[in-house]
Amino acid sequence: MNIEERYKARIDSMREFTYQWNPETYEDSNKPILKITKSSLGTFNWCKIKYLYNYIQRLPQDQTEAMRKGTVLHNHREDFFKDFDIKKASTMNNSEIIEYCTSLMPVDEYFDISLNVAAFEAQRFTEAQSEDKIDEYLPIVNEGKFDAEIIFRADSSKKYPLSRDYVIHIQGIIDRIFIEDGNLIPFEFKTGGWKDYKTTSMRQEMAFYQLLIENAPDEVLEKNGLTRDMKVTHWGWYYPAANYVFVEKITKRAMTSVMARIVRLIYAYEKNNFTEKFYAPMCSQWCSYYGICPAAQDSSWL
């Protein structure tokens, strides 16, 4: 069997998974297990009732400008690395590299942000060249899909004790993974503005990626060009609109926090308890369920 066939066979061998999960049917192996993604966990952490609306009840939400910008710029970035020709770039001087990176950016309403990305990538390429590390310039993973199953024990948390052990399915598309000296550096691309308070949530998003990579079956790693001996040692994020880039060593604390959040999510399903977390300035600006949320409607009388 080739890798595609082995990958498909391994994914097919996994139990079905869903957000519309019923913990009471867990013993029935024909029933799906809980699916968790970075986005679903982030939504749950933001507001449990938003999670209920979005993932369990699947209520439609309007596409905001921020969502549209995110999709368009993520596609541009994926295409940039697909199109980047290392051999061609290697023959260029600094200004030609800037020009080349710029030429790979589509001209659209987000071109000002794309120009920042082009300048950043030109600089990164020049640095890689001067350090004789051109082979590490391109990401080893460019929008790679990862699936894994992990076990959560009933006694994982004293505060949120579960009624039994559960296997859950985690899934995600990792923006990019770079490799340095054989070690992996997942890197997240964000199209919004940067604020220092986002550091904590970014660490948790990256720890979720680490969880995916470390628990992915061999076939999933292989399909993404990775091997089991490669370790995640650092992670990073890039906010081009703010020209902000950050890389650091992985932190155990972020992983502990992600695991605790997953337990809380399973616990919420067990108790069927998804309550609102209303905060007017955030809710009115960012929540696409503001118009139907009881907490938001009540608060409008304040």
Q: Which residues bind ligand SF4 (CB under 6 A)?
A: 47, 49-50, 276-278, 283, 287, 289-290, 293, 295-296
Nearer to ligand SF4, 133 or 277 (CB): 277
Q: What is the CA radius of gyration of the chain?
A: 21
What is the DSSP track for 165-198?
-EEEEEEEEEEEEEEETTEEEEEEE--S---GGG
What is the DSSP track for 93-152?
-HHHHHHHHHHTS--STTHHHHHHHHHHHHHHHHHHHHTT-GGGTS-SEEEEEEEEEEEE
For the CB of residue 294, give the shortest distance to ligand SF4 in the complex, in Å. Answer: 8
For the CB of residue 7, give the shortest distance to ligand SF4 in the complex, in Å. Answer: 37
Give dist(CA 15, CA 29) in Å, integer. Answer: 8
- Among candidates 167, 146, 144, 168, which has minimal Cα distance to 220? 146
Q: 141 and 177 in contact (C-beta within 8 Å)? A: yes
For the CB of residue 264, give the shortest distance to ligand SF4 in the complex, in Å. Answer: 16
Nearer to ligand SF4, 260 or 296 (CB): 296
Nearer to ligand SF4, 94 or 284 (CB): 284
For the CB of residue 280, give the shortest distance to ligand SF4 in the complex, in Å. Answer: 8
Nearer to ligand SF4, 104 or 293 (CB): 293
For the CB of residue 47, give the shortest distance to ligand SF4 in the complex, in Å. Answer: 3
